[in-house]
Amino acid sequence: MPAADSPSASFTVHDLTPALLVGSVVLLVSVAAVRLSVRSGLPSLLIYLAIGLAIGESGLGIRFDSAQLTQVLGYSALILILSEGGLSTRWSAIRRSVAPAAVLSTVGVLVSVGVVALAARFVLRLDWNTALLVAAILSSTDAAAVFSVLRRVPLPHRITGMLEAESGFNDAPVVILVTALASRSGNPSAAQSWWMLAGTALLELAAGAVIGLAVGWLGGQFMRRAAGGSSGLFSIGVVALTVLAYAAAASVHASGFIACYLAALVLGNLRLPHGPAVKGLSTALGWLAQIGLFVLLGLLASPSRMAGQILPAIVIGLVLLLVARPLSVLVSVGPFGLGWRDQVFLSWAGLRGAVPVVLATVPLTIGAHRVDWIFELVFVLVVIFTLIQGPTLPWLARRLRIAEEYQSLDLDVEATPLEEMGAEMLQVTVGEESRLHGVEMFELRLPEGANVTLVVRGGRGFVPVANTAIRSGDQLLIIATAESRSRAEKRVRAVSRLGRLAGWKA
């Protein structure tokens, strides 16, 4: 197969059949791999990377070496991933976490870059600009990797909200920083001063935020009034608006990533029609983007050049995990009164994923000098430390006693009557140590407009009555109006923590 960068490379109808064969098999294997990921506790990204390596030049022999195409497709995938993240995030869940997450995504990034750059300069003996470039590439976290590990460990909103908001915010400043440092390495004479770079970055982030919020709100009003009754077409329109936000911001040299995420966040919280269908489409596109991105990155990686980067990756990774990340968390969220247990967990939960590996292609496409080894370094680091951090996150959450004893899950059901009535569904799983155990239904005292309509116990479902007692391991289905949904969850959370007398004492 000719290299993807070759001018003579062409894709004809004769190439379509093998491409579809390989692509469909990869997708089916990736879908099946999710179950393995859940059972093993490892993020699915590792399995997708392994698939890419297996079908690459050292496996089945598929040759792919275009860093430029990888960056283009990587940015496209990140747009869809950010879009899915914003559309599926409830503002009520992250509202209190926005301020500390914003500081962690800016000040925390700078702290992390400074610490890792010092290690890269004095331990690996890199020049200052290359050391800063490596540190910047590694400074972005990946909440998708964290949540793929923690899907069975219920965490409080203060933690999930922080991780969700941080992952949505930190891509934009990191992309700006990496691009600037790579450009400085490629053409030092044309580089901006640090003060001009800081001012430009702030301006791009602010402009991107304004554009994203405007596109989200105005686009939501347009879709509410102009879209037809088809949930499929409506969903396509909403996702298209998030892509429009990125394109509109990038076209005026503002931050497209922050615009995309904020537009999606606004659209996801406007209570637009066909909400479940919109979330279903965005989730499917997000999964497709993640699978395609990680397999592509695995294809681009060269196993023969990885061995020489194992030791440097371990050194930089240890500095990042044990020094840079904890220090950035302490400096960023400490002033907001976050407890030490939460800070320890946030420090360990700073998994690196797709974004650093995609950003490692930026120096190659910009023409930075003598940095072609960075991609393999970042790739090896992501794999090694995901293997270390991923399986231990559930254990750490329980050890720090921040895992809650019940789990609530929004259920998306595409049903027109539910939308017309303004109703929502909530699934609650009762943990082994939850004080919901033994509480009878009438003692829950759910707010008006909310009720437990179904209990699943031991695989058997039944409709509860007033004196039905809740048991550990039960799954409760709660139907609530939109206005009472958050109050119903708060009430269940309080009873789970304090027992049936929760709320009686002021």
Asked if 348 and 389 count as a contact pair (C-beta separation under 8 A), the reply is: yes
- Mean pLDDT across 256-269: 93
Residues 369 and 411 in one domain: no
Domain finish residue from 347, 371, 399: 399
Most confident of the ranges 70-84, 168-182, 227-241, 308-322: 308-322
pLDDT at residue 114, rounded to an integer: 94
Which pLDDT score is estimated for 163? 84
Please report whether residue 202 resides in a domain: yes
Q: Residue 26's pLDDT is what?
A: 86
> For residue 100, is pLDDT > 50?
yes
pLDDT for 413: 47
pLDDT at 209: 93
pLDDT of residue 506: 39
Question: pLDDT category, 48, cuts 50, 70, 90?
Answer: confident
Is the pLDDT at 306 greater than 80? The verdict is yes
Q: How many domains does one find in the chain?
A: 2
Residue 316 has pLDDT above 90, yes or no: yes
Q: How many other CB atoms sit within 10 Å of the CB of residue 433?
A: 12
What is the DSSP secondary structure assignment for residue 253, as one 8-state letter?
Answer: T
Rounded distance, CA 260 to CA 168, Å? 9
DSSP for 69-82, written as a single string: HHHHHHHHHHHHHH
> Is a pLDDT exceeding 60 seen at residue 6?
no
Residue 487 belongs to a domain: yes
DSSP type of residue 105: H
Same domain, 395 and 410: no
Considering the domain architecture, whether residues 422 and 307 belong to the same structural domain is answered as no
What is the amino acid identity at position 372?
Answer: D
pLDDT-derived band at 2 (thresholds 50, 70, 90) equals very low
Residue 4 belongs to some domain of the structure: no
Most confident among 177-181, 239-243, 346-350 (mean pLDDT): 239-243
Is residue 144 very low, low, confident or very high in pLDDT (cuts 50, 70, 90)?
low
Mean pLDDT (whole number) for 328-349: 91
So what's the pLDDT on residue 265? 93
Q: 367, 383, 399: which is the final residue of a domain?
A: 399
- Mean pLDDT for 412-416 is 47
Is the predicted pLDDT of residue 345 greater than 70, yes or no?
yes
Give the confidence band of 415 by pLDDT, cuts at 50, 70, 90.
Answer: very low
Query: CA–CA separation, 180 vs 127, rounded Å?
Result: 16
Residue 242 to residue 213: CA distance in whole angstroms: 10
3-class DSSP state of 480: strand
Mean pLDDT, all residues of the chain: 83
First to last CA, the chain: 72
Q: Is residue 200 part of a domain?
A: yes
Cα separation, 133 vs 181, in Å, equals 6
| Residue where a domain stops, chosen among 379, 399, 419 | 399
- Residue 319 sits in the same domain as residue 411: no
Give the model's confidence band at 290: pLDDT under 50 very low, under 70 low, under 90 confident, else very high. Answer: confident
Residue bearing the bigger pLDDT, 411 or 200:
200
Residues contacting residue 384 through CB under 8 Å, at least 6 positions apart:
310, 313, 314, 317
| Spatial distance between the Cα atoms of 184 and 203, rounded to a whole number of angstroms | 19
State the DSSP H helix or E strand holding residue 430, giving kind and residue range, or none if neither.
Answer: strand 423-430
Looking at the structure, do residues 323 and 434 belong to the same domain, yes or no? no
pLDDT for position 347? 92
Q: How confident is the model at residue 297 (pLDDT cuts 50, 70, 90)?
A: confident
Do 334 and 343 contact (CB within 8 A), yes or no? yes
**Residue 272 corresponds to which tokens in the numbers above?**
């637009």
> Residue 368 has which token pair?
């930075």
pLDDT tens, position by position, 149-200: 665 567 777 888 888 788 878 888 888 888 888 888 777 666 666 777 778 8
Q: Which carries the bigger pLDDT value, residue 448 or residue 368?
A: 448
Instruction: Answer whether 137's CB lies under 8 Å from 378's CB.
Output: yes
Pairing relationship of beta strands 406-411 and 423-430 according to DSSP bridges: antiparallel
416 has a pLDDT exceeding 50:
no
SS3 for 255? coil
Same domain, 336 and 452: no
* Listed ranges 295-299, 342-346, 488-492; the one with the highest mean pLDDT: 342-346
Please tell me the predicted confidence (pLDDT) of residue 296.
Answer: 87
Residue 404 pLDDT > 80: no
CATH number (domain holding residue 131): 1.20.1530.20
> Looking at 271-275, 279-283, 318-322, which range is the least confident one?
271-275
Does residue 267 sit in the same domain as residue 147? yes
**Do 92 and 221 lie in a common domain?**
yes
Q: Mean of the pLDDT values across residues 201-226? A: 92
Helix (H, G, I), strand (E, B) or coil at 460: strand
Tell me, what CATH number does 461's domain have?
A: 3.30.70.1450
Which helix (H) or strand (E) segment holds residue 311: the answer is: helix 310-319
- CA dist 78 and 296 (Å) reads 13
Average pLDDT over residues 438-461: 90
- For residue 198, is it within any domain? yes
Assigned domain for 140 exists: yes
127 lies in the same domain as 267: yes
Pairing mode of beta strands 450-457, 475-481: antiparallel
Averaged pLDDT, 210-236: 87
When pLDDT is averaged across residues 261-267 and rounded to a whole number, the result is 94
SS3 129: helix
Q: What is the largest CA-CA distance in the chain?
A: 77
Mark whether 372 and 422 lie in a shared domain: no
Of residues 344, 336, 320, the one with CA closest to residue 398: 344
460-462 and 406-411 beta bridge pairing: unpaired
Structure tokens at 50: 């392994």
Residue 96 has pLDDT above 80, yes or no: yes
6 domain residue, yes or no: no
Neighbouring residues of 487: CB distance < 8 A, sequence distance ≥ 6: 447, 450
- Average pLDDT of the segment spanning 312-324: 94
- Do 391 and 433 lie in one domain? The reply is no
pLDDT of residue 143: 64
Phi and psi (nearest 5°) for 204?
Answer: -65, -40
pLDDT of 489 above 80: yes
**Based on the number of CB atoms within 10 Å of its own CB, is 505 exposed (0-12), middle (13-18) or buried (19 or more)?**
exposed
Going across the sheet that includes 423-430, the strands are: 406-411, 423-430, 475-481, 450-457, 460-462
Structural domain that includes position 477: 406-498
Angle between helices 128-137 and 374-389 (to 10 degrees): 40
Mean pLDDT of the region 273-291:
86
Q: Nearest CA to 425 among 438, 444, 411, 414?
A: 411
One domain, residues 245 and 326: yes
Mean pLDDT on 114-135: 92
Q: Is the Cβ–Cβ distance between 81 and 143 less than 8 Å? A: no
Give the alpha-carbon dihedral of 49, 54, 60, 66, to 10 degrees.
30
List phi, psi (to 5°) of 402.
Answer: -110, -10
Residues 6+ apart with CB under 8 A from 441: 452, 464, 465, 466, 467, 468, 470
Contact between residue 218 and residue 185 where contact means Cβ atoms under 8 Å apart = no
Residue 79 lies in a domain: yes
323: which DSSP letter? I
Indicate whether 122 pLDDT > 70: yes
